[in-house]
Amino acid sequence: MNEQTIKPRILAVDDSRVMRKAMTKVLGKDYDVVEAGDGEDAWTILTNDVDIQIVFTDLSMPYLDGFGLLQRMRNSEDQRFQNMPVVIITGKEDDNKTKERALNMGASDFITKPFDSVQLKARAKAHINFERTSKKLDETSNKLEQQATIDELTGLGGRHYFWKAGAEAVSYSRRHGDQFIILRMDIDDFNTIFINNGKLFADRVLRQTGAGLSQLVRKEDMVARIGLARFVMLLRDTDIESAMQLAKRLSQKINAIKFESGRHSLNITVSIGMFEPRINKQSTIEELVAETEKYLQKAVEAGANQLVIKSLRKDYSRKKMDISTALQLIEEGNTEFIDHHRLLLTRQLYPLLAFLAGDADSRLLEPLQQLKLALGHYEEKLAHPDEHK
C-alpha cells in the first residue's frame, strides 16, 4: 500500500459521544478518525500512536481538559507534540478570553460547534497539508537545517536561527567591541485579530508583516519571527537615532497595509521596544532580548502603537541638561547621567516653584512653600558641601 492510499489519522477528543461520532461521520471517508473521551485518554493514544497527524479537542472535559492536553503537548520534549496541529473545538459559551488563552498556549486553530461538514473538512485538510509539508522537510538533513533556520510562513529567520546567530553576534561584539541594537516588535491585539477573522486571515497578516520587515532590513542585520506574532531584529553598527528612524518607518509601513476581511478592511499597528546594550563577559543573547522585552511591554502599556527606547551607550554627558532632559533620563532609567547635574537642576526648579507658590491655591500653598525651602537648603548644601558636613 503506497502513501497515497493511506488515510491520514486524526484524533477527535470530546467527552460527548455524539460529538465524536459526528466528527467521525463527516471525516471518516477521507481520514482515519481515532476517538478519545477526555484528555487523559487522548494523551495515552498520542504517546502510543505515532501516526496521529492532527488533534481536534474540546476544552471542557473530565480528568484532563483541553487546556491540560494542549499544555502537555506543547511542553513535551518530543518535537512531534510541540509541532502537531491542535484545533480547539469551542462552544457558544466560550468567549474571546477563553480562545485567547488557548491561542497563547499554542492552539493552531479554532472551530465552533455546532460545526458544519464543510467547515470541519476544510480545517482538517488545511492542517493535514501543513503537517505533510513539515514532514517532508524533515526527510533530508539539509531540509531539516532549513526548517530550523527559516520561518516557513514569513520567510524570515526562525527562532533557532536567531538564538544561534544572536549568540555569535554577542561573542563577536565582546571580542571586537562592536555595538548593536536589539529591536523587539509585536503586532498589537493579534490574538483578537486571529479570533475575529480566522487563521487564514491571521497568516496573511503575518506574511505581509514579514515582507515589510524584509524590505527595510539591511543585509548585515538579522530579522526573525520568534513567536506567533513576535518579531526580533538585531541591528549591527547602527546608532540609536538611526535605529529609531528605522523603527518609525517600519511602524508606518505596516500600518499603511490595508487587509480586507469580509465586508470591512483592517489596518494593524505594532508596538516596538529597542535596547542598545553594553556588552560584557556575562552578556547573553537571551538576557539581552529579555531586557528588550521590558521596553516592548512599556510600549504596549502606553496604549500600543508606540516605540520605547533604552540606550546604555548614548553619550548624555554632552547633552544640555534641563528639566525635560532629566525627566526623559529618569523615564529611561539612566539616572547616573543626572548625578553631576543636581545643582543645575535644583537652580532651574527653584524659580518655577517660587512662581507657583506665589499664586497657588490655599491647599497647595503650604506644600509648595515647604518644597521651595527644601530646594533652597539643598542648593546651598550642594554649593557648599564642606559647610554641611
Residues 52 and 37 in one domain: yes
Residue 146 lies in a domain: no
| pLDDT (0 to 100) of residue 383 | 56
Residue 151: count of CB within 10 angstroms of its CB? 20
In whole angstroms, how far apart are CA 73 and each of 55, 61, 151, 171? 11, 17, 21, 34
In whole angstroms, how far apart are CA 13 and each of 32, 44, 137, 360? 14, 12, 28, 69
C-alpha atoms less than 13 angstroms from C-alpha of 148 in its C-beta half-sphere: 13
**Domain total in the chain:** 3
- Structure letter (DSSP) for residue 337: G
Low-confidence ranges of the chain (pLDDT < 50): 1-3, 137-147, 317-318, 388
**What whole-number distance in Å separates Cα of residue 210 and Cα of residue 224?**
9
326 and 333 Cβ atoms separated by less than 8 Å: no
Give the closest residue to 206 by CA, choosing from 184, 183, 190: 190
Residue 163 φ/ψ, nearest 5 degrees: -65, -35
**pTM for this prediction:** 0.64
Residue 57 lies in a domain: yes
Residue 359 lies in a domain: yes
Residue 4 burial by Cβ neighbours in a 10 Å radius (0-12, 13-18, 19+): exposed
- Structure letter (DSSP) for residue 114: S
Residue type, 324: S
Residues 190 and 295 in one domain: yes
Residues 287 and 358 in one domain: no
pLDDT tens for 93-134 read 777 888 899 999 999 988 888 777 888 888 888 887 766 555
Residue 145 lies in a domain: no
Residue 92 lies in a domain: yes
Q: Which three cell numbers stand for residue 337?
A: 547621567
Q: In what order do the strands lie in the sheet with 86-90?
A: 32-36, 9-13, 52-58, 86-90, 109-112
Residues 233 and 352 in one domain: no
Structural domain ending residue among the three candidates 266, 282, 314: 314
Q: Where residue 216 sits, what CATH number does that domain have?
A: 3.30.70.270
Q: Which three cell numbers stand for residue 215?
A: 524590505
pLDDT tens for 128-177 read 776 655 555 444 444 444 445 788 899 999 988 899 999 999 998 888 77
Name the one residue in this structure whose C-alpha cell is 533620563: 329
| pLDDT (0 to 100) of residue 115 | 78
Residues 276 and 342 in one domain: no
Structural domain ending residue among the three candidates 250, 279, 314: 314
Residues 36 and 85 in one domain: yes
| pLDDT (0 to 100) of residue 312 | 84
| Domain that residue 193 falls in | 155-314
Give the closest residue to 266 by CA, choosing from 186, 187, 339, 321: 187
Structural domain ending residue among the three candidates 267, 299, 314: 314
Residues 6+ apart with CB under 8 A from 82: 73, 74, 76
